[in-house]
Structure 1
Amino acid sequence: MNRATLKKWGPFLVLLAFFSFWLVWKKPAHQEVHSTTHLAMGTLVTVSTWGVATSVEEKAVAQIFARIDQVEELASRQKTGTPVYQVNHATPGTPVVVPEELATILAAGLEMHTVSNGAFDPGLGFLSDLWGFGHGVPDVGKIPAATELAAWLHERKKNTDYGIKLVKEPGGAMTVQVDGYPFTLDLGAIAKGYALDQAMETMKQSGVQNGLIIGGGDMIITGSKGGQPWRIGIQHPRDHDKIMASSEIKGDLAMATSGDYERFFMVDGEREHHILDPQTAKPSRSGLISVSIQTQKAMTADMLSTAVFVMGMEKGRKWIEKMAGVEGMLVTENGERWKSPGFQGQWLEGP
């Protein structure tokens, strides 16, 4: 019988474990960085601004967090009554009218599913629950029975059409149809990035031109820090009190990191993590342990980091090289590292 052990962290490391990025700055004599943290979408979201009056910053932060909460109320599958919850709990095959904003998010996810040849999949909610990751990290790690995983794979392969459909009805309404088991809509690898994109738009509309928003493994930046770049540390995938790489960024840029160290449990020395491979119904064994993607939109970076993680080093690297405006930093479990020429960052520590 497998005995599971869960990674435990002290309070300080718990905070770090929520983030794949560290914000680093030298505090000037007159502090101009204001940072506020808020719990949303299952993680800690931190908003940092530079060089604005306190009154402007406080108003902007309140509006930013309100916008993020709006997205969560739209896209969460755990919260009772949200549009995604309603879609997943409707009679299988029944079209459900959804808000246009949710349709926009799902359309991006379905497109990424197609262009990634299924490496990115917004329909893994049931499988995620089977592994215990539907509500974070399970209290006691347990591998699903082989029969359960085999049944899920059998049903998936039996369906020649993807079991989640987005349709624009004749009257203009958008509907989503989920065919039921084994498909369950899960926008976890899309909505957080989308929320940060919306939060950044809100920040700019509020009069803040220099700022940074970090939520879990996603972040988005605008402007600079008093004319200097924002310095971002990317967490070491195996030593959580070390920074593996650093980025110095000015202007508008988003970055997302996916890793097997964010949400996982150990069973007999094997790391069982939350990035699931729909081809195996198990945590991805692509060989990658950390993937960072830089592009203009956080939602795009969010989806790409997941897809590339599932693809592995060779396929993922070639895919990144083909895409305009996309840069990547990849690390494998055996120590291989790769960084695209345009990636804004440098290595500090080995994996």
Structure 2
Amino acid sequence: MLEGIFIMKKFWIGVATLLLAVTSLAGCGQQNTTPVKKAPTLVKNPYEDTQFLMGTVVTLRVYDKGKQSALNDAFDRIKVLAKETTVNQEGSEVDAVNAQAGKKAVKVTPAIYSMIKYAKSYSDKSEGAFDLAIGPITSLWHIGFNDARKPSQAEIDAKLPLVNYKDVVLNDKKQTVYLKKHGMAIDLGGIAKGFITDQVVKVLKRDKVTTAIVDLGGNIYVLGHSPKGANKDWTVGIQDPKKSRGTAIGTVPAKNMTIVTSGIYERYLKVDGHVYSHLMDPKTGYPFENNLMGVSIITKKSVDGDALSTATFDKGLKGGMAFIEKTGYAEAIFITKDKKVYISSGLKKTFKLLPNSGYTLAELK
């Protein structure tokens, strides 16, 4: 289950602006009858606010002049959604749904219903690689918290039958959620931060913000163009999964895009010399075991990045890459335990591996 909403995985992804010169355009000597949209006025030093929410550090930066109040609107939205999705907290709608498992359907707010519906849709799309009903297993292990432990096989076997997204029943008309079996529990940690990131972007756009950085504990969204270059992209660093936050192995250009990373070294449990990741396999009840060390997803919606990063870990390098290529709307960077980097086809011309990173680019055979 979620505690402080953040029971997921995310690495910090460094965001830096790309410094490029602005080329001036000469007039053509003819009157332009097409209305010209006035370019927004940007500030050199952005309006910025950092708060500790959802168990992580949240930082928002807005570059549009006179739009400082948009920060307050965005944080207000985050706090409302965090309260509704956090477990073991008064006002949690997820708690309410889980408490009535096997008993009755629970009506939830439109935003939470939309989040749960999306989570079920992705569970189906990924054929269970991502499963919103993973709650009974994540609460058993509780990796990332002080009481984390390796459960017995008997405990895992007892909980696995409760993990089945098909037993989550939704009623669009009534906006209700029903869990068929007693003991079931949904865990929105797999998409919650991505969903909220997208909601923040909507708030900023509503407030007429054109240029901003949204960082929800590693879920990065870059809005608009880099403020230091006319019509130029931001440069986003891809985190080295084995080093401290802010250490990049490579970079990608991006605008109006999100970058979401999952990995096995940020939160884990070590038992008898074996490292267990917090990324759980819904089929086995154990953390995923494969050669992947980290996966970064680049797409337009942060909620998609969350779900895809989990699903690709389940499928492994070859299966995960095939899954990404099939989507048609996402790109991915896979980092393996032998320090090789594999990139999806859409990044072949844009991803840059940093010199002396200690990693090497590789091709799938």
Which residue of structure 2 aligns with residue 247 of structure 1? 252
Which residue of structure 1 aligns with residue 300 of structure 2? 296
Which residue of structure 1 aligns with residue 46 of structure 2? 33
Q: How well do the aligned residues superpose, as a CA RMSD in angstroms? A: 2.4
CA contact (8 A) 1:164 1:183 kept: no
Shift of 1:176: 0.6
Which residue of structure 1 aligns with residue 34 of structure 2? none
Which residue of structure 2 aligns with residue 7 of structure 1? none
Shift of 1:320: 0.7
Which residue of structure 2 aligns with residue 9 of structure 1? none
Which residue of structure 2 aligns with residue 326 of structure 1? 330
Structure showing greater radius of gyration is 2
Q: 2:298 is paired with a residue of what secondary structure?
A: strand
Unaligned runs of 5+ in 2: 1-8, 20-42, 360-365
Which residue of structure 2 aligns with residue 43 of structure 1? 56
CA contact (8 A) 1:260 1:275 kept: yes
2:67, 2:204 → 1: CA distance?
Answer: 10
Which residue of structure 2 aligns with residue 236 of structure 1? 240
Which residue of structure 2 aligns with residue 113 of structure 1? 123
Shift of 1:245: 2.0
Q: 1:65 is paired with a residue of what secondary structure?
A: helix
Unaligned runs of 5+ in 1: 1-16
Shift of 1:128: 0.9
Call closer, same or farther: CA 1:80–1:329 in 2, change over 3 Å: same
Q: 1:49 is paired with a residue of what secondary structure?
A: strand
1:62, 1:145 → 2: CA distance?
Answer: 46
Which residue of structure 2 aligns with residue 56 of structure 1? 67
Shift of 1:139: 2.2
1:324, 1:18 → 2: CA distance?
Answer: 23
Shift of 1:22: 1.4
1:190, 1:223 → 2: CA distance?
Answer: 23
Shift of 1:204: 1.7
Call closer, same or farther: CA 1:187–1:297 in 2, change over 3 Å: same
Call closer, same or farther: CA 1:19–1:49 in 2, change over 3 Å: farther
Identity, % of aligned positions: 28
Runs of 4+ with deviation above 6 angstroms = none
Q: 1:342 is paired with a residue of what secondary structure?
A: helix
Query: TM-score by structure 1 length?
Result: 0.84
2:83, 2:221 → 1: CA distance?
Answer: 21
Structure 2 counterparts to residues 133-172 of structure 1, below 5 A:
133=143, 137-139=144-146, 141-153=148-160, 155-156=161-162, 162-168=166-172, 172=173
Query: TM-score by structure 2 length?
Result: 0.81
Call closer, same or farther: CA 1:78–1:342 in 2, change over 3 Å: farther
Aligned residue identity for 1:200 = V
1:93, 1:311 → 2: CA distance?
Answer: 34
Q: 2:266 is paired with a residue of what secondary structure?
A: coil
